[in-house]
Structure 1
Amino acid sequence: MTFRLLLPAVALLAFAGCNGSSSAGTANLDGIADADAFQQVSYNVGYQSAQQFLQQDSSFSFARFVDGFNAGLAGDSVEIAYALGLQYGLQVGQDTLGTIDRELFLSGVRSGLNGDSLRLSPEQFQAAQAIVEDSVSIRQIRARAKTDDAAARTLTQIQANAVSADSFMTAVRARQGVRELGDGVLYTVQTEGEGASPTENDRVAIRYRGTFINGQEFDASGEEPAVLSVNQVVPGFAAALKDMKPGETRTVFIPPSQAYGLMGQPGPGGEGGVPPNSVLQFELTLVEILDMTPPAGTFGPGQMRSPGR
């Protein structure tokens, strides 16, 4: 089984201490959409984990999972629910780089097992996940930079690019005709479209060209439109798509926090890719909204390279 992969964003984080299983997982979730990034990631990872647990065993026991989780945190060394709880508890109990709300994680597991609706959109989770990953990464880099020259150079690049990104986005925001979406994504409209806008569950055909703030092109759709799912791209790219109509062309400016974040996205073999704290600029045309069944052999941006994914 590959349950270790269920914690990709938080495998380096520790959870807060545990209580007994009888009251575990009862956090109030009404305000989770407005909670901080660490709380949102805690809840969302728990919920998504529960969905995969149920695929393994439809009668999965939350109480046994919590028992195993507590045993793992205590370092103790079978039923599937207990074993998975133990595995998760051992993983997060051994980590000391950060803190995620353990009660919200267990509340997410309970909510998912109960069949409740997920309370965070994919964009909300992606944004929160990026904040958590950046928080952990910068702690690691700062620690390594004290003794590692390569880490020191990376830290310098991160800091310099952050200043450049802020200056660039401030200048763009002051331009005439620039509009703003949520979370700092800016855009101008070259050609208006018409009809309905895509949702996060749609697939779209687009033409695009992506550049950095120095004008360097890092990706483009080529002669034929690229096909992608709206819910599989970085938050800023998804936000732009969901605000467009077929036939519309925009220039979109995506800040690092809504793109590849503090660490960027290395290219194949560590070459190229997206540098740390990079603003992404796209010339973007929404060609059409498609059904959800992808044609065989279809590739969207980022599947072969990495523009908006």
Structure 2
Amino acid sequence: MKSLIKMTLVSSAIVLALAGCDDKKSSDTSSSATNQITISTDAQKEAYALGSSFATYMKSNLEQNEINPDKEYLISGFNETFHDASQLSKDDVKNILDAFGKRIQEESQARFEKQKSENTAAGDKFREEFAKQDGVKQTKSGLLYQIITEGSGRHPTAKDTVIVHYLGTLTDGRKFDSSYDRGETATFPLNGVIKGWTEGIQLIGVGGKIKLVVPPDLAYGDQSLPGQQDKAGIQPASTLVFEVELLGIDGDKAEESTPVQNQEQSEQSDK
């Protein structure tokens, strides 16, 4: 954590300096954005590209750790130190960053514990309610499932690679993944996905559709996965909900079902 903090702060300062920041302190970010430098030589392009790469990486790390440093002081710390005019000694910098890193780590751990507690409670409640619905069954592992369509083709094994359409949501209904949104089917080896999928997809045949409610230990456990574009992220101890259509088994071309064009058409066919 401490090395991350140090790299983040230093690299962010470098990025801002490379992007054309001068020694003048200003809290007006809009004015600094308009003072763009002119890029003409290869050396300037290389320096700018390096700064752009740093910015992308460091921005992601700062946001992930919910760190929002004062850019004016961050730039001043870089520039003044670079010109041998730092207002802090090396020992001061080390002690401050050590304490800062410890605080960030403690805050991160507190967020993790809070998210885990809330998601565990929400998942337990959701699974309890889902288990009461008609046709819902539970396996020995704790996986809850509801077969919407049995499917007329063969059931896959854990060694098979399946062709599917699917929708993944959190217990509050927020979408975190969808092959329908991408407009193309997905192909997965069943022994290379989360345990809930490996077990659940084997319960239907080709042409079938199933709803899976996957407890954390059969999904991503205490891992946290960032959201992509307009999709929600997955927090620690999240129960995941999937609706999956098994369209085919790779290699069984004769049994492959016609892919559903979109989610609305799929839902209408189930009515």
Distance 1:145 1:256 in 2: 28
Distance 1:187 1:145 in 2: 43
Q: For each residue in 1:42-91, what CA deviation from the matched residue of structure 2 results, as whole angstroms up to 9, or x when unmatched?
A: xxxxxxxxxxxxxxxxxxxxxxxxxxxxxxxxxxxxxxxxxxxxxxxxxx
C-alpha displacement of 1:255: 0.7
Q: 2:242 aligns with which of 274, 279, 282?
A: 282
C-alpha displacement of 1:237: 0.9
Distance 2:200 2:178 in 1: 17
Q: For each residue in 1:272-307, what CA deviation from the matched residue of structure 2 results, as whole angstroms up to 9, or x when unmatched?
A: 531111111111110011139xxxxxxxxxxxxxxx
C-alpha displacement of 1:156: 1.1
Q: 1:253 aligns with which of 204, 213, 236?
A: 213
RMSD of aligned Cα (Å): 2.5
Q: For each residue in 1:221-258, what CA deviation from the matched residue of structure 2 results, as whole angstroms up to 9, or x when unmatched?
A: 12332111111100001111112100111111111110
The equivalent residue for 1:264 is: 224
The equivalent residue for 1:58 is: none
Describe the shift of the 1:193–1:151 C-alpha distance in structure 2 as closer, same or farther (beyond 3 A). same
Distance 2:106 2:228 in 1: 24
| Helix, strand or coil at the partner of 1:246 | coil
Distance 2:140 2:245 in 1: 20
1:168-183 paired onto structure 2 within 5 Å? 168-183=126-141
Q: Are 1:233 and 2:193 an aligned pair?
A: yes
Asked whether the 8 Å contact 2:215–2:239 carries over to 1, the reply is yes
1:1-309 paired onto structure 2 within 5 Å? 148-222=106-180, 223-267=183-227, 272-291=232-251
Unpaired segments ≥5 residues, structure 1: 1-143, 293-309
Unpaired segments ≥5 residues, structure 2: 1-101, 253-271
C-alpha displacement of 1:147: 7.1
Describe the shift of the 1:268–1:146 C-alpha distance in structure 2 as closer, same or farther (beyond 3 A). closer
Distance 2:224 2:128 in 1: 20
Distance 1:149 1:228 in 2: 37
| Helix, strand or coil at the partner of 1:196 | coil
Q: Which runs of 4+ in 1 moved over 4 A?
A: 144-147
Distance 1:224 1:153 in 2: 36
| Helix, strand or coil at the partner of 1:209 | strand
Corresponding letter in the other structure for 1:207: H
Asked whether the 8 Å contact 2:175–2:232 carries over to 1, the reply is no
Asked whether the 8 Å contact 2:174–2:232 carries over to 1, the reply is no
Distance 1:267 1:246 in 2: 30
TM-score (norm 1): 0.44
Distance 1:272 1:250 in 2: 22
Asked whether the 8 Å contact 1:184–1:255 carries over to 2, the reply is yes
Distance 2:205 2:170 in 1: 25
How many equivalent residue pairs?
Answer: 148
Distance 2:178 2:144 in 1: 20
C-alpha displacement of 1:175: 1.8
Distance 2:179 2:104 in 1: 42
Describe the shift of the 1:188–1:218 C-alpha distance in structure 2 as closer, same or farther (beyond 3 A). same
C-alpha displacement of 1:203: 0.9
| Helix, strand or coil at the partner of 1:260 | coil
Asked whether the 8 Å contact 2:225–2:233 carries over to 1, the reply is yes
C-alpha displacement of 1:145: 8.9
C-alpha displacement of 1:149: 1.8
TM-score (norm 2): 0.50
C-alpha displacement of 1:157: 1.1
C-alpha displacement of 1:268: 6.7
| Helix, strand or coil at the partner of 1:148 | helix
C-alpha displacement of 1:182: 3.1
Asked whether the 8 Å contact 1:146–1:152 carries over to 2, the reply is no
Corresponding letter in the other structure for 2:119: N
| Helix, strand or coil at the partner of 2:152 | coil
